[in-house]
Amino acid sequence: MKDVEDLLSNRLLMVARLVKPCESIYDIGTDHCYLPIYMIQKGIIKRAVATDVKKGPVQIALRNINIFGLDTYIDVFVSDGISHVGQDSNIIISGMGADVIIEILTEGIHYAKNANQIIIQCQSKTERLRSFLWDNGFYIEEEALCKEKDKVYNAFRVSYCGVKQIYTEIETIASKKLVKMHHPLLTDYISCHIRKLEDIISGYKASNVVFSNEEELKRALEEINENN
């Protein structure tokens, strides 16, 4: 059997490493299906169901499954959201923005709450996604960061605990887990958010809009970077 590892990006490898070994997994928005193929090859899972909202990615996924000889181990079809997952399932949602992920989880909240684990890799507005998860009783078990080209990506494994989390705005960007880890990429990750805040502050200054909250958030992030 061919080895797919060389075809995986750092971002997808990060996602795979967050998965707790299990019988099967649902890969939502699978694209090339490299992630399920890799996890089966490494013995992390035995079977997978891979879906995408478009026929094109599904056709590519089917071709790759055939190339790697895993036709009997991975089911692929067109589907939107997570309404097709089973009870006590294991789910991956990666490569999407926060708004899309929140929509998927909201529409399939029953399935999300009953999942054993959900591995989420968000492309943008991660702070908004964190707030949604904490507000809706999900616990972030583990987090990871990786760098791909010039961008730092974040991913985490979550499960439903039923208890809404108390958090600050700063923690939606740099959570206690990330800060405690002293991750070598945390400084770069936070610096990206600081630059965004600086752009917002500059725009507010030009428009004579009050920006005290943004300034306070920026100072708090800079302090975390100094202590990391």
Tell me what percent of the chain is helix, strand and coil, each rounded to the nearest 5.
45, 20, 30
pLDDT band at 210 (very low <50, low <70, confident <90, very high): low
Q: How many domains does the chain have?
A: 2
Cβ-contact 50, 33 below 8 angstroms: yes
The three-class DSSP label of residue 82 is: coil
DSSP secondary structure string, 92-135?
EEEEE-HHHHHHHHHHTHHHHHT-SEEEEEESS-HHHHHHHHHH
Whole-angstrom distance, CA of residue 37 vs CA of residue 32: 10
38 and 140 housed in the same domain: yes
Q: What is the pLDDT of residue 2?
A: 62
Let me know whether 182 and 119 are in one domain. no
Model pLDDT, residue 213: 77
Pick from 78, 77, 130: nearest CA to 102: 130
How many whole angstroms separate alpha carbon 227 and alpha carbon 174? 13
More confident residue, 209 or 55: 55
Residue ending a domain, choose from 140, 166, 192: 166
Q: What is the pLDDT of residue 135?
A: 97
Q: Are residues 150 and 106 in the same domain?
A: yes
Task: Determine the pLDDT at residue 1.
Answer: 53
Q: Which of 166, 186, 201 is the last residue in one of the domains?
A: 166
Strand 74-78 versus strand 117-122 pairing type: unpaired
Sign of CA dihedral 69, 75, 77, 79: negative
* DSSP single-letter state for residue 21: P
Residue 21 — pLDDT band, cuts 50, 70, 90?
very high
Q: Where does a domain end: 138, 166, 194?
A: 166
Question: Are both 117 and 27 inside the same structural domain?
Answer: yes
**DSSP state at residue 165:** P
**22 — alpha (psi -120 to 50), left (phi > 0) or beta?**
beta
Domain containing 220 equals: 168-228
Work out the number of other CB atoms within 10 angstroms of the CB of residue 41.
16
Q: Global pTM? A: 0.91
Asked whether residue 218 falls in the same domain as residue 136, the answer is no
Average pLDDT over residues 89-110: 95
The reply to whether 131 and 161 lie within a common domain is: yes
Cα separation of 194 and 215, whole Å?
10
Q: Which residues pair with 157 in a beta bridge?
A: 119, 142
> In percent, how much of the chain has pLDDT > 70?
96
CATH number at residue 13: 3.40.50.150
